Structure formats: structure tokens, C-alpha cells
């Protein structure tokens, strides 16, 4: 039995990209991994199948609080599913809901936390959820921001963009590696090498380079156009839309930029997102 290595991020910040890279590099780059196979590699923390295992049967009829209380047991079920550590995707903040920790420390081996400029996140999030840009900005400012339970997934508790980002600082830095989306774009070799170093995974440079190419935005977008993507929101025409950094400069109004910066100033400054404004 291993522990969970969380692949954590606010939505639309590069989590799928990171999962694709890791699966491609671990498989040695022999065949390009398809985006619809990613859930076989990295579990989703909200998948109800784990909560049903924790409950020993169906969770239909349980209250929201009763379901959430199953979270620690669901996480432990994930750790027992493989002999080594298991990657688990999460968009949850590291906090409490119904007095239950959304991230179970007893099951945790480490975490990779991916962040992206909230100015760009606001645009991608709007497309993903079918929001207007202003609605997206309000959502990202809401300390109670969350998505509802559906037939397959538990609710996801995001909090505001700033609260989400700061919450992951609670994890011992020895066990947490933070990655900026923008660095994944502009210096992939260095950035992904550091990810592998954190995970203590050693591969030839040729395998690293191939995995970076196999998980590129162009590759993922092409796969979605051909076969669709199971994780695409029904509110969006596509999951892989632009993949750029700095799109906010041509999309957001001065007022929208000011609202985001005023709300998230301190965290944006900490991670270099106020440069060039």
C-alpha cells in the first residue's frame, strides 16, 4: 500500500496537462497516452466509486454530511488499490467541510500543486462553466465557491482562487512541489524535470522530451477533436480551448483586471503575476 500524491489545482490551471505528462513519462513514451485514459492513471478524488467502497455499498439516500464523513475512508481505499503511491487529481482546497478534511493527511504521501495566473483562469473558467467573464470573476472571489454533486462525482469545494492557493501552503513544504502553468509553457524541460526530481523518478532525457511532446497542448487538443474528452463540461464546446498565457490582455477590460488584482493582489504578487501590469 502506498500513499496519495495529490495533483492539485484550481480548475483550468493545467491539471490535465500534468496528468498526461506524468502518465506518458512513466509509461516510457512508447505510445502516446489518450486523454480518455487519464482516469485510469490518476484517480479523481470525487469519484463516487471510492465513497461506495468506503460505505460498503450504495451511498444513495445518505445526507450530504454523511457522504462527506466517508472521505477519509474513501482516500484510504485509494491507497490500498495499488502497492505503490497513487496519483489523485483534486480541485478541492485544503480545508474542512462538515468538519471533515477534504485532504486526508494520513493517506497523503505528497502533492504537486499547479497554479495559473487568475487573469487567464477567469477566461478559461468562463468557457468551461458557461459563465460570463464577470460571473467567472465573482465565482473566483467567492470563499464558498463549489460545484454540485452529480451522478458520478461528489461536490468539489474550491473556495476563492486566493484561498485555494494559500490553503495548499499548509502542507509540509518537504512534501509539496508547486508548479506555475506559465513555466510549463515557457520552459517545459526545466519545469517537468523538477517535477520528476521531486517525485524521485529518473528517466533518460529522450524519454522526458518525448513525454513533453506527447502531452503538449496541440496533442491533447487534437485527441479531443478526434475522439472527444470525457471530462469536458456540457457547458463548453471543448475542454482544450486556447492553452495560452497572457490572453487576458486582449480579452479582459481594465475594470475586470482591476477587480481580479484588487481581490487577489497578495497571492498574485507572491507568484509573480503582477509583473507587466
Segments of the chain assigned E as strands: 4-9, 43-44, 86-90, 96-97, 100-101, 108-115, 146-147, 156-157, 176-180
**Residue with more model confidence, 178 or 226:** 178
Residue 242 pLDDT level (bands cut at 50, 70, 90): low
Mean pLDDT value of segment 88-101? 96
Q: How many structural domains are present in the chain? A: 1
Q: Which of 7, 70, 68 is CA-nearest to residue 39?
A: 7
pLDDT digits (tens, 9 = 90+) for 191-213: 999 999 999 999 999 999 988 88
Q: Is 177 exposed, middle or buried (0-12, 13-18, 19+ CB in 10 A)?
A: middle
CB atoms within 10 A of CB 218: 10
For a pLDDT cut of 70, what percent of the chain falls above it?
Answer: 91
Residue 136 in domain: no
User: Which cell goes with 138?
Assistant: 465573482
d(CA 270, CA 275): 11
For a pLDDT cut of 90, what percent of the chain falls above it?
Answer: 72
Mean pLDDT is lowest, of 59-63, 224-228, 251-255, for 224-228
Segments of 139-260 assigned E as strands: 146-147, 156-157, 176-180
Could you tell me the pTM of the whole model?
0.90
| pLDDT, mean over the chain | 90
**Residue with more model confidence, 29 or 77:** 77
Residue 194 in domain: yes
Q: Which domain holds residue 62?
A: 4-117+144-230
Residue 190 in domain: yes
Residue 276: the pLDDT is: 77
Is the CB of residue 42 less than 8 Å from the CB of residue 7? yes
Is the CB of residue 10 less than 8 Å from the CB of residue 164? yes
Residue 2: the pLDDT is: 75
Domain of 71, CATH number, reads 3.40.50.300
Amino acid at each position: 500500500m502506498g500513499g496519495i500524491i495529490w495533483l492539485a489545482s484550481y480548475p483550468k490551471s493545467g491539471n490535465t496537462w500534468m496528468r498526461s505528462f506524468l502518465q506518458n513519462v512513466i509509461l516510457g513514451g512508447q505510445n502516446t497516452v489518450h486523454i480518455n485514459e487519464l482516469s485510469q492513471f490518476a484517480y479523481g478524488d470525487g469519484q463516487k466509486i471510492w465513497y461506495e467502497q468506503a460505505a460498503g455499498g450504495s451511498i444513495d439516500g445518505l445526507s450530504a454530511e454523511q457522504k462527506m464523513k466517508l472521505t477519509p475512508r474513501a482516500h484510504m481505499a485509494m491507497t490500498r488499490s495499488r502497492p505503490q503511491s497513487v496519483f489523485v487529481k483534486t480541485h478541492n482546497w485544503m480545508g474542512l467541510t462538515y468538519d471533515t478534511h477534504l485532504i486526508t493527511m494520513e493517506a497523503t504521501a505528497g502533492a504537486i500543486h499547479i497554479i495559473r495566473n487568475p487573469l487567464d483562469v477567469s477566461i478559461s473558467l468562463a468557457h468551461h462553466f458557461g459563465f460570463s467573464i464577470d460571473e467567472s470573476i465573482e465565482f473566483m472571489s467567492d470563499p464558498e465557491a463549489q460545484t454540485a454533486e452529480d451522478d458520478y462525482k461528489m461536490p468539489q469545494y474550491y473556495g476563492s482562487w486566493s484561498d485555494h492557493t494559500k490553503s495548499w501552503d499548509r502542507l509540509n513544504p518537504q512534501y509539496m512541489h508547486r508548479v506555475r502553468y506559465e513555466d510549463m509553457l515557457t520552459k517545459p524541460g526545466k519545469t517537468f524535470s523538477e517535477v520528476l526530481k521531486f517525485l524521485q523518478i529518473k528517466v533518460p532525457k529522450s524519454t522526458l522530451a518525448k513525454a513533453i511532446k506527447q502531452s503538449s497542448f496541440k496533442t491533447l487538443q487534437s485527441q479531443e477533436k478526434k475522439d472527444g474528452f470525457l471530462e469536458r463540461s456540457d457547458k463548453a464546446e471543448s475542454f482544450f480551448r486556447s492553452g495560452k498565457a497572457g490572453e487576458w490582455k486582449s480579452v479582459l477590460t481594465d475594470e475586470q483586471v482591476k477587480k481580479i488584482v484588487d481581490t487577489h493582489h497578495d497571492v498574485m504578487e507572491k507568484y509573480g503575476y503582477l509583473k507587466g501590469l
